[in-house]
Amino acid sequence: MKVIVLGTAAGGGCPQWNCACRLCAAGLPPRTQDCVAISADGVGWYLLNCSPDIRAQILSTPALRAGPGPRETPLRGVLLTDAELDHSLGLLMLREAGGLPVFAPDAVLSALSPFRAIIDGYGGWTSLADLPGLRVDVLPVSDKKPKYVSSAGDGPWVVAYRISDLATGGALVYAPCLKSWPDGFDAFVEDASLVLLDGTFHAPGEMTGVGGPDQIAMGHLPITASLARIAGRPGRWAFTHLNNTNPVLDPASAEHAAVVSAGALLPADGTEFSV
Backbone dihedral region of 204: left (phi > 0), alpha (psi from -120 to 50 degrees) or beta?
beta
Q: Which domains does the chain have, with CATH numbers?
A: 2-274 (3.60.15.10)
Indicate if the pLDDT at residue 54 is higher than 60: yes
Q: Which residues contact 141 (CB under 8 A, 6 or more apart)?
A: 156, 158, 159, 160, 175, 177, 178, 179, 180, 182, 185
Q: How far is residue 179's CA from residue 200's CA, in Å, rounded to a whole number?
A: 11
What would the pLDDT profile of 212-234 be if each residue is shown by its tens digit? 555 556 679 999 999 999 988 88
Per-residue pLDDT at 212 = 56
Tell me the pairing of strands 171-175 and 75-79: unpaired
Report the alpha-carbon distance of residue 57 to residue 61 in Å, rounded.
Answer: 6
> What digits encode the pLDDT tens for the residues 175-188?
999 999 999 999 99
